[in-house]
């Protein structure tokens, strides 16, 4: 399949944030590890059990990557046979609830963004310029509730016509990825049919969402060397970096 996005075929491009536009997936993985390891270590000591740390490669990819924060907490804990009270999204970070652990991780992410800033991928910035030049509608679709802060820090917020993020998921009671709801919401807000939209994702849950939503083209970004895995989960096309993609104009329908 050609590594091009053409204006004849598509009207909009919907991009995930972390690991696709900005180099923040590694920050999230590190913060998930720090938060879960502190919790698991404390739990193991209290129960006299062996401490099995969070694996930032396997556990991150399978249970939390691309998902809404509290879904990630819940799914990882379930993989370890641990059930915590739900609590609420407003729980303090010290609470031993799904809400508390999720907010503890979020505080860690916000501190790193504040202290170190955010770097966008050069190839992604190039693609955004090409898409804007050819008249595509562009949306960012992410489970992150830090989306606005990250885009501001990366100086990319002006590129996007629409933002569907973790705050939208909560406000609109949407199912997070791998359900297609967030991408379908973005297409609806942009006024385009899913068949005329491109989804770009690096998370397995994200390419599954694009595939199940019947989007015209689902592009996986294999930042983790997992091209085959992305294809198995629904990517039509896989690249290592968005700089490999070309954008062609044409007569839009």
Spatial CA neighbour of 231 closest among 197, 198, 250, 204: 204
Residue 28 to residues 65, 137, 232, Cα–Cα distance (Å): 9, 28, 24
Spatial CA neighbour of 219 closest among 196, 235, 197: 235
Catalytic residue among 18, 71, 165, 181: 18
The answer to whether the Cα torsion of 221, 24, 163, 97 is positive or negative is positive
Judge contact between 102 and 69, C-beta under 8 A.
yes
110 Rama class: left (phi>0) / alpha (psi -120 to 50) / beta: alpha
Q: Is 16 among the catalytic positions?
A: yes
What is the Cα–Cα distance from 182 to 174, expressed in whole angstroms? Answer: 7
Catalytic residue among 16, 59, 91, 181: 16
User: Annotated active-site positions, please?
Assistant: 16, 18
């Amino acid at each position: 399949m050609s590594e091009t996005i053409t204006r004849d075929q598509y009207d909009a491009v919907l991009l995930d944030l972390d690991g696709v536009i900005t180099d923040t997936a590694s920050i999230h993985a590190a913060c998930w590890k720090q938060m879960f390891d502190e919790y698991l270590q404390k739990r193991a000591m209290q129960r006299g059990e062996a401490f099995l740390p969070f694996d930032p490669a396997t556990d991150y990819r399978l249970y939390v990557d691309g998902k809404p924060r509290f879904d990630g907490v819940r799914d990882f804990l379930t993989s370890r046979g641990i059930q915590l009270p739900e609590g609420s999204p407003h729980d303090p970070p010290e609470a031993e609830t799904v809400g508390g652990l999720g907010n503890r991780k979020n505080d860690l992410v916000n501190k790193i963004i504040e202290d170190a800033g955010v770097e966008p991928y050069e190839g992604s910035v190039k693609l955004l310029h090409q898409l804007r030049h050819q008249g595509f509608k562009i949306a960012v679709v992410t489970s992150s509730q830090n989306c606005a802060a990250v885009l501001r820090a990366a100086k990319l917020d002006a590129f996007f016509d629409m933002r569907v993020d973790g705050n939208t998921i909560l406000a609109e009671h949407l199912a997070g990825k791998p359900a297609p709801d967030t991408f379908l919401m973005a297409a609806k807000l942009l006024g385009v049919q899913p068949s005329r939209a491109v989804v770009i994702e690096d998370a397995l849950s994200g390419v599954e969402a694009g595939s199940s939503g019947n989007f015209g083209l689902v592009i996986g970004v294999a930042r983790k060397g997992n091209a085959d895995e992305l294809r198995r989960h629904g990517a039509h096309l896989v690249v290592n970096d968005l700089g490999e993609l070309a954008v062609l104009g044409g007569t839009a329908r």
